[in-house]
Amino acid sequence: MQNLTIAVAKGRLQTEALDLLARAGLSVSSAMLSSRRLAVEDESGRYRLIFVKPGDVPIYVEHGIADCGVVGRDVLLESEADILQPLSLGIGRCRMVVAAPSETPLSGYRALRVATKYPRVTARHFGSRGLSVEIIQLSGSVEVAPQLGLADCIVDLVETGTTLRENGLRIVEVIAESTARLVINRASYQLKAEAVGHLIDSLSEIVDQGEQT
Amino acid sequence: MSEPLSKIPNGTRYYFGREARLRRSVEQIVMSVFDGWSYEEITTPTVDYYSLFEHGMGRSQAHRAFRFTDTDGRLLALRPDVTSGVARAAVTIFADRDRPLRLCYAAPVFRQQPQSHVEWRRESTQTGCELIGANTSVADMEVLAIASEILQKLGLGHTYQITLNDVGIFKGIAAHQALDEVSRDELRQLVDSRNAVDVERFLADQEFAPEERHALAQLTQLSGKRETLEGARRVMLNAGSKEALDRLDRLWSMIVSLDLEDRFEIDLGDVARLDYYTGLTFNIYVNGAAARVGNGGRYDGLTAAFGKAEPAVGFVLDLDALTAVLLALEVDTRLPKESERQMSLVTNSDPTLLFCEARKKRAEGERVLITL
């Protein structure tokens, strides 16, 4: 079977993703993982893992540098990468939401200012409503923008909702549910069909077991 | 602030040296295979009416073109594809020719918006062929056999993979379920990205009948050989899908009889452009390229926009992508660097003698370099 390179999103998903991959038969020694190397091989030599920023996973996969990747659906929605996403891995569950401080319905604004790390998702979401929206792209701590007067509302990812509450925001709309996805390069899907098929099968078996328990 | 003149626009590039020669020879190999199957070369205008491409490619694709206005105010475009111009020629210039019509081309195409993140170039060279006026599996097989020969001749015989589908399969399911256009496109996108999870969710929302759910789940499965067709046949019971499966089955039998089944796969999830294609669709992949290097299919509706509906099948190869793959494979082998190529120096202070000698060597087929 052909060798596969898998890009894993660093951060929020990394530990769970590695655990899942380990159960699917990718054994990476803990010494390797605790090192700061960003590209490691598994013990069988059949898989190479690369650790990159979540937003870069679709880029590596679309360019075929990685055959596969593990990344949140939120990132995929924003990247608009032309890649395959055959499997939901059931980890990293969260929601992409619109959150605002007051009870005022969003349609009450003449021009809405939205702070977000996800400008494309935001533009798509509001685009069809005839609302004039000013998108303010931030790189973090988006929740604080409304109370400081930078924006009327935010589009962001929410896991538990605690950060939102502590910053006086409530969820107005849910744009999408997000879980981690297995993504695959279109050419690898055809040219490395056997190896890719094997990985999809092993992972989907584990995901199914997870859902039953 | 003025831009430095040394700047080159995004998505454009130079070709020179070994790469330029390789690219030229790839083009010659491809065109000689087309010629070998009796395809006549055609060159379409580089600048043409935007409306041609809007009809020929569909609005969403034509939108990518560089557009500008003619002196009379009509909208022009730099050719974003060649097929549109060929289709118009078929029903005008070639209206009285016997059918089928076999045409081929190699030409640069221009797109202001690149196709995807990977396809960054805004000028690229397309080479392809069109077989117009025949609507049989044999015609479909003809263009597949040509594609196959080209890849073989380029030395990629063991690394290419052609995936086949027939859009009639998906269209059959959508029609049976009476999906409106918006839902059909949503479902198409989900199937095309093999997004089985969201396909499930979509089907639950749309209250699909169980047998149709099975049929659609099948589309997102891994590609395969004849067993993929057999699996699909068991769950796809609507007339449109069945007819399309029969067409693919006939084609597959021919592929098997030509001993080509190692190089072909059936991939029912490839539903990238439903409105353009009417039957067979295929994508060409080769090792070393992150995206497809070619694609094609049957577009029986293509020439209708220009006044007369005729069946047509064809494909296009991305010459620049193929060159990049071959260049990576041949880095240290066949093609010498520009500086390493053989040449014969010609020196003489008398210009007459200089050129006499140079022309003599040229007549003998030598590569000369005049010392100036």
Would you say residue A109 has pLDDT above 80? Answer: no
Query: Are residue B200 and residue B303 in the same domain, yes or no?
Result: yes
Residues of chain B with pLDDT under 50: none
Query: Are residue B32 and residue B91 in the same domain, yes or no?
Result: yes
What is the Cα–Cα distance from B133 to B313, expressed in whole angstroms?
9
Of B331, B334, B335, B296, give the one whose Cα is nearest residue B314.
B296
What is the Cα–Cα distance from B36 to B20, expressed in whole angstroms?
24
Pick from B163, B197, B223: CB nearest A88 = B197
Q: Per-residue pLDDT averaged across A107-129, rounded?
A: 87
Query: Are residue B22 and residue B124 in the same domain, yes or no?
Result: yes
Q: Are B258 and B232 in contact (CB under 8 A)?
A: no
Domains of chain A, first to last: 4-92+179-212 (3.40.190.10), 94-177 (3.40.190.10)
Residues of B in contact with A81 (CB under 8 A): 116-117
* Subunit contact B117:A64, Cβ cutoff 8 A: no
* Subunit contact B290:A63, Cβ cutoff 8 A: yes
Query: Are residue B297 and residue B364 in the same domain, yes or no?
Result: no
Pick from B220, B286, B287: CB nearest A86 = B220
Please tell me the total count of domains within chain B.
2
What is the Cα–Cα distance from B313 to B300, expressed in whole angstroms?
8
What is the Cα–Cα distance from B280 to B192, expressed in whole angstroms?
16
B220/A contact by beta carbon, under 8 A: yes
Query: Are residue B257 and residue B307 in the same domain, yes or no?
Result: yes
Q: How confident is the model at residue A29 (pLDDT cuts 50, 70, 90)?
A: confident
Residues of A in contact with B117 (CB under 8 A): 59, 62-63, 81-82
Residue B70 belongs to some domain of the structure: no
Of B272, B220, B202, give the one whose Cα is nearest residue A200.
B220
What is the Cα–Cα distance from B204 to B55, expressed in whole angstroms?
36
Selected for mutation to probe chain B from A85, A186, A196, A201 (highest B CB count within 10 Å) is A186
Query: Are residue B218 and residue B359 in the same domain, yes or no?
Result: no
A89/B contact by beta carbon, under 8 A: no
Instruction: Give chain B's count of helices (H) and strands (E).
Output: 13, 13
Residue B76 belongs to some domain of the structure: no
A193/B contact by beta carbon, under 8 A: yes
pLDDT score of B202: 87
Query: Are residue B350 and residue B202 in the same domain, yes or no?
Result: no
Q: Which residue has the tokens 């660097």?
A: B337
Would you say residue A94 has pLDDT above 60? Answer: yes
Residue B63 belongs to some domain of the structure: no
Query: In one letter, which amino acid is B178?
Result: A
User: DSSP assignment, residue B119?
Assistant: -
Residue B296 belongs to some domain of the structure: yes
pLDDT score of A145: 94
pLDDT score of A2: 87
State the residue range of the domain holding B127.
Answer: 17-43+81-329
pLDDT score of B221: 77
Residue B60 belongs to some domain of the structure: no
Query: Are residue B257 and residue B163 in the same domain, yes or no?
Result: yes
Secondary-structure breakdown of chain A: helix, strand, coil percentages, each rounded to the nearest 5: 40, 30, 30
pLDDT score of A213: 58
A139/B contact by beta carbon, under 8 A: no
Residue B197, domain CATH: 3.30.930.10
What is the Cα–Cα distance from B85 to B34, expressed in whole angstroms?
18
Query: Are residue B210 and residue B303 in the same domain, yes or no?
Result: yes
Residue B55 belongs to some domain of the structure: no
Count of CB atoms within 10 A of residue B18's CB? Answer: 18
A5/B contact by beta carbon, under 8 A: no
Residue B307 belongs to some domain of the structure: yes
Query: Are residue B169 and residue B31 in the same domain, yes or no?
Result: yes
Of B136, B37, B123, give the one whose Cα is nearest residue B79.
B123
Query: Are residue B24 and residue B154 in the same domain, yes or no?
Result: yes
Question: CA angle B231-B236-B238, nearest 5°?
Answer: 160
Higher pLDDT, B353 or A39: B353
* Subunit contact B291:A64, Cβ cutoff 8 A: yes
- The CA distance from A161 to the nearest CA of chain B, in Å, is 24
Residue of A nearest to B290 (CA): A64
User: What's the full length of chain A, in residues?
Assistant: 213
pLDDT score of B107: 97
Query: Are residue B228 and residue B348 in the same domain, yes or no?
Result: no
Tell me the pLDDT tens digit for each residue of A169-209: 999 999 999 999 999 999 999 999 999 999 999 999 998 88
- The CA distance from B322 to the nearest CA of chain A, in Å, is 14
DSSP assignment of A20-61 equals HHHHTT----HHHHHS--SEEE-TTSSEEEEEE-GGGHHHHH
